[in-house]
Amino acid sequence: MFVQVTNIILVVFLPMVIIYLKGETFSLIGASTVCFIYSLLFLKLWSYVQTNMWCRQTYYLKQYNPRERRPSITVAELRNGFTGDEVDEDIPKLVQYPDNLCYKDLFYFLLAPTLCYELNFPRTTRVRKRFLLKRLLEVLFGFNVIMALFQQWIIPSVRNSLIPFSNMEIGLATERLLKLALPNHLVWLCFFYLLFHSFLNAVGELLHFADRNFYCDWWNANNIDTFWRTWNMPVHRWCVRHLYVPVVKMGYSPAQASTIVFLISAFFHEYLVSIPLQTHKIWAFLGMMGQIPLSAVSKSIERKMGPRMGNIIVWASIILGQPLCIMMYYHDYVVTHYHDALNSTVYNEV
């Protein structure tokens, strides 16, 4: 356990050290991609280690207590292992611990569009070529749309917000915020569709991965809690299975377990922003932790004013919160890396 914990911690800290020492060799997109991949690797390895620990405990329990009542069996087990009939080749035989401990199984999990490890994933029997082609075309087209929106709309708006934000001109800064909110929200919606619908479905189709529940109807969320439970299902399942439930079983209250979940989520949000920018602030961390009181406020509004008003609060937090965070980090990035240029620009504006 000590070796496993050390390994997954090093997975998170390795990009921090390398980007700090060799940051000039990484572009912003490159550093962000590296941090994103290593964050996924951390979550997947955590799930792999913990799930196999549970399987190992059950395995030895059965070894030392063979009279323990056997759990219900599946149709595949019934037809392929527990009767004297011939094995049906059309029904795959389920993998049992410790037969899953091999490189092939680990590499498949690392590539699969899920963060929760299972010994037997639901599988499809074929690759639908037309469906796969549609998803790949959507990825290609969506990536170009996002890049166009960034270059033509977001970058100029962010640059224009620097001086009002630096001079604390509330009225002009608010105008820049609202001006940035629309293109940022369009990019966020395009990125959501591109990642959770197009890309993950394409990967799942190539790997014969059958569980495609990557998101639910988060746009109908009546409060912040419902939004966080529905917009990113792979992360939500990981948080519930590997963090929330184990913490509750350790004797902590559900509220304490939820706070720990938000702490871990806030750390990774800050990690994915501060490390690529090499600007170590806590705005993303505070933004995520601020979801806890905002959740209580949205639930109160939902009870008093109805679900529609609660849904408006959810959309307002998405539309206004993200551009504010972008403006703050851009200002801090310029201050950190281009302090002299910022001072001369402010002086010229005055």
pLDDT tens column, 147-158: 888 888 888 888
Q: What is the mean pLDDT of the chain?
A: 84
Lowest mean pLDDT among 21-30, 176-185, 320-329, 341-350: 341-350
Residue 161's pLDDT band (cuts 50, 70, 90)? confident
Query: According to the model, what pLDDT value does residue 57 have?
Result: 87
Percentage of the residues of the chain whose pLDDT score is greater than 90: 37
Query: According to the model, what pLDDT value does residue 263 have?
Result: 92
SS (H, E, C) 116-162: CCCCCCCECCCCCHHHHHHHHHHHHHHHHHHHHHHHHHHHHHHHHCH
Query: According to the model, what pLDDT value does residue 350 have?
Result: 44
Percentage of the residues of the chain whose pLDDT score is greater than 70: 88
pLDDT tens column, 120-160: 989 888 899 999 999 999 999 999 999 888 888 888 888 87
Residue 83: is its pLDDT beyond 70? no
pLDDT tens column, 22-59: 877 888 888 889 999 999 999 999 999 999 999 998 88
- Catalytic residue (choose from 185, 236, 242, 269): 269
Cis peptide before 307 (omega within 30 of 0): no
pLDDT tens column, 167-192: 777 777 788 888 888 888 899 999 99
Query: According to the model, what pLDDT value does residue 347 have?
Result: 42
For residue 178, give Cα distances in angstroms to 43, 107, 184, 290, 336: 35, 45, 10, 21, 25
Residue 74's pLDDT band (cuts 50, 70, 90)? low
Give the separation between CA 41 and CA 107, rounded to whole angstroms.
Answer: 11
Query: According to the model, what pLDDT value does residue 91 have?
Result: 61
Residue 346: is its pLDDT beyond 50? no
Mutual angle of helices 28-64 and 103-111, in 10-degree steps: 130
Structure tokens at 239: 């948080």
269 is catalytic: yes
